Amino acid sequence: MEFPWPDVGTPLSDVLTPMPVIDEDRLAKNIARAQDYMTSHDLPFRPHIKTHKIPEVARQQVEAGAIGINCQKVSEAEVFAEAGFDDILITYNILGPARLARLVALNERVTTLRVVADSAVSIEGLSKAVGQGRPLRVLVECDTGAGRCGVQGAEAAVALAQDIAAAPGLRFDGLMTYPAIGGAAAVEAFLQDAMARLAAVGLDCPVRSNGGSPDLYAAHLVPSATEHRAGTYVYNDRAMLRAGECRAEDMAMEILATVVSRPTPDRAVLDSGSKALTSDLLGFEDYGTIPALPGARIVSLSEEHAVVDLTDCGADRPGVGTQLRIVPNHTCVVSNLFDRMVFHRGGIVTRVLPVAARGTVW
Amino acid sequence: MEFPWPDVGTPLSDVLTPMPVIDEDRLAKNIARAQDYMTSHDLPFRPHIKTHKIPEVARQQVEAGAIGINCQKVSEAEVFAEAGFDDILITYNILGPARLARLVALNERVTTLRVVADSAVSIEGLSKAVGQGRPLRVLVECDTGAGRCGVQGAEAAVALAQDIAAAPGLRFDGLMTYPAIGGAAAVEAFLQDAMARLAAVGLDCPVRSNGGSPDLYAAHLVPSATEHRAGTYVYNDRAMLRAGECRAEDMAMEILATVVSRPTPDRAVLDSGSKALTSDLLGFEDYGTIPALPGARIVSLSEEHAVVDLTDCGADRPGVGTQLRIVPNHTCVVSNLFDRMVFHRGGIVTRVLPVAARGTVW
């Protein structure tokens, strides 16, 4: 049976919970604020679509001034290419014949497609897959302190850049990094070092792609970057608030939940379990905040239940059936759980959009 | 674009990762072992479908001897009713007119449908929604120590049972509890107390539904229960292994992942991020185990990356492109992330089934 998604005009109080909802005004403000900042620093902006996975929202970002989009997987990029986006950076090592074939097919139809690599294995796979096809633009992924993927140091970056430049079908197009939080100075130092070394071996480095939402408003501290990537800023969440990148009134995503049980005076149970909030803690000790209930702590989740400790709340405690709004620790992962996303303005549903790239892990 | 799900006969080495896969032989053994145990103790068994969300797997459970199924939400129950299941227990407080209307519609077509309640608000809603329709069987949910939903104590259970018995359209059908781990003695003591009190006020209590996978093989220690519910046993996971309820060779679900980066000698990065493994820790400090890589620790996840610390591994470390298998901390939440589930026997794909109840949080 089809889920009864709400019609446009429905008040949120009538929406079945648990349900993430997006505040249109806050969304528009978040998009404008980040773009204005980037524009004021002459820094091209490339939003990461992982946060929303919705082409219509990406279109709002591009219409505001973004130069293109950032995807993490080929399957995500396929969804957005299908929706007409023509400047896509895939910040992932693409491996295996099936996925490489789809990447190459994408490269034939997207005006500007770039991908990253951080190993000889990746480069060999990309080169073989391209064959006689349209040359593929490749950036070297560099680890500047985040400890995830990426070559270690500028010397290794140059060696890999030379491999790319020498590989049939590939074009070395620059450098990409996903930095550590607070890592602006390290990124700038790295880029300057790597660019000098690349110049010394005669390689152009037109693209220097920096990223991250937690340091979004420090992007100008990396003048050597030619673009900045960020995702979470579009909705914001508790982690962005902690990072000082937004205010409480900038939370475009909230999760509607209902109190389904009040077993004791100090305990409420909500219907927003890990299938709605996810278990992402991101360093927090509980699973989101409830702005309308100061002192309440979401202390544990099972799939369909959130247990809330009300010990530190006042006397006005919600009864069974009360609808509450939760600010999640991490919005991006919530988007991956729902087939559609409900948007509203002032509590009235404005649009219900398919989360077109939900589940695209390939 | 449609994801290229593997054809029957495909070797797992050719399956795109990240991808959870189910070992048919282990699945069959897990189903048989639990059912044999229940049968040997004359204890009716009601598997919780949340772990797999797949009607075909539930059919295997019922064909093995299960009396019916357990769902958590109305939308889950709808999927399984559509697939022909005619004995369904929904262990959730159902609230709100839209959901109650769907519950009542379900009650008109499912031979034996039961639901639980732990508050006067829930009972009032159920009674109003049934109206002149077919009477709805309701169990009182009891908190016997797990600290989630449920009335506190036998006296409160009896009071609510009387409310149900007196409510138009409802029939008091018994008690239900989701116990604390290791809580068999507490459940038995509670049931004996509550049954005596119910008898004293003239109320029959035909159903006493106990549950939980971590204590599956202690179900016979609750002789007053008339049925046991459990979900995770069907696939098993790292938490079940820790609980001593299965062996390493009973893991029916593993997640195929590929090494996408080897930035340093001690670090591997896999493509199985939180969109494949989820962030569920369940008390563990890392995000699953890699049986083929003793000593490896999945120390952090982002959406599309798993960072693996290889410090304690031997010299034989996987290179970029190597496919690995991961045992997740918690299988149920993984099932909620994928639209289809790939089954295999001996590494050859046998079936690819829709996860029909994925995303049914309502």
- Whether A103 has a pLDDT exceeding 80, the answer reads yes
Query: For strand B45-47 and strand B19-23, is the pairing parallel, antiparallel, or unpaired?
Result: unpaired
pLDDT, averaged across chain A: 97
- Whether B2 has a pLDDT exceeding 80, the answer reads no
Interface of B with A in 198-217 (CB under 8 A): none
DSSP assignment letter at B168: T
Q: Is-contact A97 A122, C-beta < 8 A?
A: no
End-to-end alpha carbon distance in chain A: 28
pLDDT, averaged across chain B: 97
Q: Which of A244, A213, A248, A206 is nearest to A228 (CA)?
A: A213
B150 in contact with A, Cβ within 8 Å? yes
> For A195-254, what is each residue's pLDDT tens digit?
999 999 999 999 999 999 888 999 999 999 999 999 999 999 999 999 999 999 999 999
Helix (H, G, I), strand (E, B) or coil at A132: coil
Which residues of chain B make contact with A151, given a CB cutoff of 8 A?
263
Helix (H, G, I), strand (E, B) or coil at B12: helix
Q: Which of A312, A302, A314 is nearest to A261 (CA)?
A: A302
pLDDT band at B302 (very low <50, low <70, confident <90, very high): very high
Compute the half-sphere exposure of residue B258: CA atoms within 13 Å on the CB side of its CA.
21
Query: For strand A267-270 and strand A45-47, is the pairing parallel, antiparallel, or unpaired?
Result: unpaired
**Cis peptide leading into residue A97 (ω within 30°):** no
Interface of A with B in 20-79 (CB under 8 A): 50, 72-73, 75, 78-79
Q: What pLDDT does A272 receive?
A: 97
Q: Is-contact A140 A161, C-beta < 8 A?
A: yes
- Whether A2 has a pLDDT exceeding 80, the answer reads no
CA B244 to CA A273: how far, in whole Å? Answer: 26
pLDDT band at A194 (very low <50, low <70, confident <90, very high): very high
Lowest mean pLDDT among A35-39, A150-154, A170-174, B210-214: B210-214
> For A76-98, what is each residue's pLDDT tens digit?
999 999 999 999 999 999 999 99
DSSP string computed for A141-197:
EEESSSSSSSEESHHHHHHHHHHHHHSTTEEEEEEEE-PPTT-HHHHHHHHHHHHHH
CA A92 to CA A74: how far, in whole Å? Answer: 9
Tell me the mean pLDDT in the region B124-128.
98
CA–CA distance from B63 to each of B21, B57, B336 (Å)? 22, 10, 24
CA B58 to CA B48: how far, in whole Å? Answer: 9
Tell me the mean pLDDT in the region A13-20.
96
> For B10-54, what is each residue's pLDDT tens digit?
999 999 999 999 999 999 999 999 999 999 999 999 999 999 999
DSSP string computed for B230-266:
E-GGGT--HHHHHTTSS-GGG--EEEEEEEEEEEETT
Helix (H, G, I), strand (E, B) or coil at B333: helix
Q: What pLDDT does A4 receive?
A: 82
Tell me the mean pLDDT in the region B303-330.
97
- The domains of chain A are located at 12-20+246-354, 24-235
Which residues of chain A make contact with B121, given a CB cutoff of 8 A?
319-321
- Contact across the interface for A359 and B336, Cβ inside 8 Å: no
Q: Which of B356, B338, B357 is nearest to B253 (CA)?
A: B338
Tell me the torsion sign for CA atoms A277, A17, B88, B62: negative
Of B14, B304, B307, the CB nearest to A92: B304
For residue A350, how many other CB atoms are within 10 A of its CB? 15
B219 in contact with A, Cβ within 8 Å? no
Q: Is-contact A128 B285, C-beta < 8 A?
A: no
In chain A, % of residues over pLDDT 70? 100
- Whether B70 has a pLDDT exceeding 70, the answer reads yes
**Cis peptide leading into residue A168 (ω within 30°):** no
Q: Which of A176, A168, A194, A166 is nearest to A139 (CA)?
A: A176
Please identify, in words, the CATH class of the domain defined by A24-235. alpha beta
Tell me the mean pLDDT in the region A254-271.
98
Q: What pLDDT does B1 receive?
A: 59
- Whether A1 has a pLDDT exceeding 80, the answer reads no
B332 in contact with A, Cβ within 8 Å? yes
Does the domain spanning B24-234 belong to CATH 3.40.1350.10? no
Q: Is-contact A151 A176, C-beta < 8 A?
A: no
pLDDT band at A7 (very low <50, low <70, confident <90, very high): very high
B119 in contact with A, Cβ within 8 Å? yes
Q: Which residues contact A271 (CB under 8 A, 6 or more apart)?
A: A17, A18, A257, A258, A260, A304, A305, A306, B361
- Contact across the interface for B50 and A143, Cβ inside 8 Å: no
Q: Which of A173, A171, A140, A172 is nearest to A154 (CA)?
A: A140
- Whether B269 has a pLDDT exceeding 70, the answer reads yes
Q: What pLDDT does A72 receive?
A: 96
Q: For the purposes of burial, counting CB atoms within 10 Å of the CB of A230, is it exposed (0-12), middle (13-18) or buried (19 or more)?
A: buried
ipTM of model: 0.96
Fold of the B12-20+246-354 domain: Lyase, Ornithine Decarboxylase; Chain A, domain 1 (2.40.37)
